[in-house]
Amino acid sequence: MSKKKRGKSNNKSDYGIAPEFKKHIEETYDNAIDFGDAPDEMRLSDRILRLIDPYMESMDIILLVDCATIAWNECLDEDFGIKGSYSLNNVLYNFSNFRDLINELKSRKRQMFKNNRRHIKEVKVYQKGEDISVNVASDFDIRDIFTETKDELYETSLADDEEFYEAVESYEDDGDISKPNPHLKHALLAAVDNQLRGNDPPITRETFERLQAEGYSAKQAKEKIAAVLVEDIYEVMTTKNPHDEVAYERRLKALT
């Protein structure tokens, strides 16, 4: 994910993966995935940048990203028992002098992305003039895309959603991902809301309005779009290919 050095978040930034990083990950790891070209819901680089945003005016961003990576992986170890080796930009740096900052970032991770269990295997910051690009490779489980969304619900309101609460009360997470998961469904609908709110991509809003004109309720239209979105996410996950905007648009246009 890219943005201006020490600048504020820019939703129109270029999210491409650095070719050298992509090649390195493919040659080094068998089970690590870089999500730099994936939709918003899958990018761990976006999470890291949101984590460090309040500190970006005050210190070097490369060092800050490394501290955030340490904080992220320490949370996984302490909260979920998930351990593993990982590589930083400054592999020989002594980070003991930044323990207070790392602890603050750990608190932010737990507040903002409490349930995200993706272990960062490697992080790399590339700089070209004033521009920076943060690339992240991580271990991955399909459920990790969605579990964190319980803590950041975008615009999908649950206040009066009795159906959701009833489904949550009766749901038991026994590891069977084939069972209907209310949290997964809500996360997908939240992702659709996010696309509608930002009109990005525009085809989502066009499809939403078209389906309603054809007689579907707003909720039904969102559910249909969400079904296409999960297919798109699954394809990116299994093939490790970049998000195919043309294919996504084609699937939405085919919805009836």
| Same structural domain, 8 and 121 | yes
Supply the pLDDT for residue 63: 93
Residue-level pLDDT at 38: 54
Confidence class for position 42, pLDDT limits 50, 70, 90: low
Q: Are residues 8 and 134 in the same domain?
A: yes
Residue 88 has pLDDT above 70, yes or no: yes
> Looking at the structure, do residues 9 and 125 belong to the same domain, yes or no?
yes
Quick one: 179 and 217 in the same domain?
A: yes
Q: 149 with 78, same domain?
A: no
**Mean pLDDT of the residues in the chain:** 75
Residue 193 and residue 157 in contact, taking contact as beta carbons nearer than 8 Å = no
Q: Choose the final residue of a domain: 110, 138, 166.
A: 138
Of 92, 108, 138, the residue at which a domain comes to its end is 138
What distances in angstroms separate CA 251 from CA 23, 38, 66, 211, 215, one per listed residue?
Answer: 30, 17, 39, 13, 19
Mean pLDDT of 46-58: 89
Enclosing domain of residue 245: 144-253
Answer whether residue 176 shows pLDDT above 70. Answer: no
Q: What are the C-alpha distances in Å from 181 to residues 167, 170, 173, 184? A: 8, 10, 8, 5
> 75 and 174, same structural domain?
no
Please give the pLDDT value at position 67: 96
Res. 229 pLDDT band, cuts 50 70 90? confident
Residue 168: predicted pLDDT: 47
* pLDDT above 80 for 90: yes
Pair (158, 115) in one structural domain: no
pLDDT band at 154 (very low <50, low <70, confident <90, very high): very low
Q: Are 130 and 148 part of one and the same domain?
A: no
Give pLDDT, residue 68.
96
Find the mean pLDDT for residues 153-168. 46
* Number of domains observed in the structure of the chain: 2
The tokens of 107 are what?
Answer: 């608190």
Q: Which two tokens stand for residue 103?
A: 């602890």
Q: At what angle do helices 218-239 and 182-198 cross, to 10 degrees?
A: 100
Residue with tokens 């959603």: 161
Q: Are strands 33-34 and 120-128 parallel, antiparallel or unpaired?
A: unpaired
217 plus 151 within the same structural domain: yes
Q: Looking at the structure, do residues 131 and 217 belong to the same domain, yes or no? A: no
Rounded to whole angstroms, the Cα distance separating 42 from 200 reads 15
pTM above 0.85, yes or no: no
Interatomic CA distance for residues 6 and 103, integer angstroms: 21
